[in-house]
Structure 1
Amino acid sequence: MDRTHLLAQVRQAVSDAGAAILEVYAHPSRFDTEIKADDSPLTAADRAANRIIETALHELTPEIPILSEESAQAPWSERRHWTRCWVVDPLDGTKEFLKRNDEFTVNVALVENHRPTLGVVYAPALGRWFYAARDGGAWRQDGQKMPVRVEVCEKIADRPWQVVGSRSHNTPEVDAFVERLGDAELVAMGSSLKLCLVADGSADVYPRLGPTSEWDTCAAQAVVEEAGGQVLDAMTGQPLSYNARETLLNPHFICCARPNPAWFPAVQSQAAATEAAG
């Protein structure tokens, strides 16, 4: 598979989806919001973007199944045999969309043998792209500027830890983690852009000690890993895998350049306490 060529085609589909989202975004009266069974919002923008992406992916790779947040999920008895699949979140950060703070994204990833090998994260209101394909590096592009290759970086010695937290889903566990680090600053961000802050070296660590689904992280994980970073299960220290279990919920995780003894035990203890309470 020529992932470089495929990446360009996926970006076009994502761009089209982003344009459809912005058309709705410009007219709040058209938000037409529903509340799903998990209490998360669903808007006309989610539905429009999903139709565009699924249609494009079916045309590009009719042989590869699609796992999208906004479509009916195939049963595990079928999914367990997939060696490849697309993982799609047509509008990640719907709460940010409804708040009109621009921090929402379109996420599309290709998964092969349970690992992301291609990922596109697009924030249409910001005009910001992050994308990667295996062995092709990770890239950021802002508006019409030339793409810039991004890499994670080690913590700067004289700077407080830059810890990314969710703008809409922060938890006491994350606050406790920041407090335990001591010299740390919390950087709030919405959607999968949180992982991308680690990918481009803007932040040191993103501990997620709350619920997420596979489509929330898959595309951004492809970017983080090609940038030299890691997205690790907080309990096992192993990279997050996709379509590898019946549940589509991620375990608690940590996104970082690499594990650091200053924080990894804290993440494990917080994750264990949260899981025990839940």
Structure 2
Amino acid sequence: LWLGVPIAMLLTGVLAWLLAGRALRPVRAISERTEQIGAGTLHERVPVPKSGDEVAGLARVMNDMLDRIQREDRRRRQFVADASHELRSPISSIQTQAEVAANEGGPASELAGGVLAESERLGALVDDLLSLARHDEALAPPGGEVDLDDIVLAEADRPRRVPIDTSRVSGGQVRGRSDELARVVTHLLDNAARHAESQVLVKLATDADGVTLEVHDDGPGIASEQRERIFERFVRLDEARERDGGGAGLGLAVVATVVRAAGGSVTVDESDELGGARFRFTLPPATS
């Protein structure tokens, strides 16, 4: 008899543990699926158990909430795409008229030059929004073989506030859209030049891992805790980065979106060459 009590208690404990595990299994499945749902997977839903109890009710409520979030996200994305398309025509018209006024000279030419510069900046912002909208809706047209080194050299040749060293740029051919890859390179070079103290270094090489572009600067660098967040949309770091001196926080989001859509990866860390930031992306070679 004295052995029966501990054995009964042990069996009761094991039975309770098994029953609790079985009862909580749907909750665990809901939690795991919820953790997997992000901005790019709003179409997914949590599993609804067939028990018909409170846990099943909770799962249905969560799925209803996800339905509402997905609908609002679609409306937001559609609004951004529609607004961007509608803005392109008036911006082009403003740029044309400002160019004419600036070339005519006279007292209004300086004002026209300022209007032209700001309209070009606004046009670049609209192009970024359209690029992101196309990728959000998987509408970006397919690309072909692109000589990435030609794009890098052409973009690096544009005047910027600090010199850009391209002596370590070698050949590299990838698959993609030349206009989007040019935008990626432009954003990386503009970002590096904006924050560099005196120089920017660009490296391009092809190896077994793919075609890799690195952009180094000798600026203040980026804190490790900010290195993932910096590729999010409309993110601007706080360190003395005034809005007048930079963009709208979309450039690096475009970089990450285009590179990942092309099957590549993009990272940022500390430059071992210049001591500032090093942006690095790798794309599969065109022959892969």
TM-score range, shorter chain: 0.3 to 0.5
Q: TM-score, normalised by structure 2?
A: 0.35
Structure showing the higher helix proportion among its residues: 2
Q: TM-score, normalised by structure 1?
A: 0.36
Structure showing the higher strand proportion among its residues: 1
The structure with higher relative contact order (CA 8 Å, sep 6+) is 1
